Amino acid sequence: MATGYHLHYEFRVNGMHTDPLTVKLPDAEPISDSEKERFQSLAVQMINRIDNLYLQIYAVN
C-alpha cells in the first residue's frame, strides 16, 4: 500500500517486463514552455483538490 503520491509505470516488450532504463523510446519534440506551464498549473490545482479531500476524510474519522 502506498503511503503517499507516487508514480508507477512499467514497460512490457513482447509481453515481458523490461527495465525502463533500457527501453529505446522514439524521438519526440519536447512540449512547449507554455504547455509545460499550463500542465504545472493544472497539476497544482489537482493536488490541492486531493489534499482537501484527504483532510475532509481525515477530519470525519
Rounded to whole angstroms, the Cα distance separating 51 from 61 reads 15
pLDDT of residue 61: 61
Residue type, 30: P
Sign, CA torsion 31/37/40/46: negative
14: left (phi over 0), alpha (psi -120 to 50) or beta: left
- What confidence tens digit (pLDDT) does each residue in 12-59 have? 999 999 998 998 889 999 999 999 999 999 999 999 998 888 777 766
pTM higher than 0.85 for the full model? no
pLDDT of residue 49: 92
Q: Which run of H or E residues covers position 46? A: helix 33-60
